[in-house]
Amino acid sequence: MSYHHLTPEERKKLFRMWRNKESIRRMAAALRRSPGTVSRELKRNITWYRHSPLYRPVNAQKMYQARKHRP
């Protein structure tokens, strides 16, 4: 089974659905990804600001790029 990373466009779509409080399963279905992929993406890339979670697709892409080059 091959694995493909989320694209910047998918991250933007994920952000809109996350902001609208869609369920993980609904987001996964819309992106045609597994719920585990969506869950891990949010877990890795949500930051906290004043006790509120924030998911920013541009920041998520930057963090992905930085992680990609780590050994």
Is 59 a domain residue?
yes
Is 3 a domain residue?
no
* Number of domains comprising the chain: 1
CA dihedral 50, 55, 61, 67 (to 10 degrees): 60
**What is the C-alpha separation between 29 and 47, in angstroms, rounded?**
24
Would you say residue 35 has pLDDT above 70? yes
Whether the Cβ atoms of residue 63 and residue 42 lie closer than 8 Å to each other? no
Angle, CA 40 vertex, CA 39 and CA 41 arms, to 5°: 90
pLDDT at 41: 93
**Which pLDDT band, with edges at 50, 70 and 90, does 14 fall under?**
very high
Q: What is the pTM of this model?
A: 0.80
Would you say residue 26 has pLDDT above 90? yes
pLDDT at 33: 94
Range of the domain at 32: 8-69
Whether the Cβ atoms of residue 14 and residue 41 lie closer than 8 Å to each other? yes
